[in-house]
Amino acid sequence: MFVRISNTPRDYAWGSSGRISEYLGLGGTGTEAELWLGTHPGSPATAADGRPLGELLDAAGVAHPPFLLKVLAAASPLSLQAHPTTEQAERGFARENDAGVDMSAPHRSYKDPFAKPEIIVAVSKFEALSGLRDADDALAAVRAVLAVDEAIRPFARRLEGSLQSAVAWLLSGDAGVAEVVRAVTDAVDAIAEHDAAAADTVRRLAQHYPGDPGIAVSLLLNRVTLEPGEALFLPAGNIHAYLEGLGIELMGPSDNVLRAGLTSKHVDAAELLQIADFSVLHDPRMPREQLAGATRYAPDAAFELRWIDGVHRPDASGPAIVLAVAETEVAFADERRTLTAGEAAYFDTLSGVEFSSADAWLAMAGDTPVGSVNP
């Protein structure tokens, strides 16, 4: 099954002005944050006949793809967030259903019973926070503030205990947190003398979310600058926030986001603390593998992503979605199709399919199951 699909970029406040359309040659000019290609009901891709892709697959008796492919363009920071495991999502979803929380309620935390591991591959230079860094590195930044402002001492004491204790206190709503955030914001020049990246993060966050506890939490996280082609894998529990850039995102078919700050949306810090991973992440970047005509990004998840820049024949049989950035030739069985820049297509199987392109993204099923794939 070969189905041409399309969608319209979503206009979240943190999005860029026409950047997705510029990248894909779509001609749009408004605020564009994310373009979704998949069957998630939050913004399902549609076929040429106007039917949602999921409806078409259901009619054909074909399973939904175990992933959601996105183009993401951030002009300002996204929320401080983490995603649940399948088991956590199932419990949270059932709990909110039992409590009668409407699916469209803005304070709902669990939109579906699925996990949301994800990867982001940089198209432009991409700035992000990902995972907790070594406590000694975080303490160096905190002590730089302490040297000029004693108000941060309650934070320093907790950080000397553990990263988890420090994060939990910052998100607790304690009256002393506001003074810590003020101290961190005011002492950004002192931080810069020891850690230029952490200082840049504080400046960015304070500009967009003044007084938010996430400003202080950022000192505990890895600041990552991805060059085009570099990637992050964000498994369940990873505390993260994207700051700026254009990237290709591939994730589980879920919209479960537990937010703790840096947003005008619903914040559920208590739930994030329940599902967060507080282990140290020494190297947030994920490896990539060169294949014939493609670069492979294969996380420990039910999906993988490939960037095609030549002739590529995937050795796989599962479902897939391809997004053409440049003209892309697709050969399968006795047919040959052409996707122009900005077009996308769904395949129920990659068996016998060959792609030829200078620039295309291929999202495909991987080897690690994450439960049901019909959101």
The residues that are catalytic are 259
* CA–CA dist 68, 249 (Å, integer): 8
* CA–CA dist 183, 215 (Å, integer): 10
C-beta separation of 112 from 255 below 8 A: yes
Structural tokens at position 223:
């600041």
* Cα atoms in the Cβ-side hemisphere of radius 13 Å centred on 89: 24
- Give the 3-state secondary structure percentages of the chain, helix then strand then coil, rounded to 5: 25, 30, 40
* Cα atoms in the Cβ-side hemisphere of radius 13 Å centred on 29: 0
β-pairing, 320-324 with 354-365? Answer: antiparallel
The amino acid that residue 244 corresponds to is E
Secondary structure letter of residue 83 according to DSSP: -
Residue 24: CB atoms within 10 Å: 20
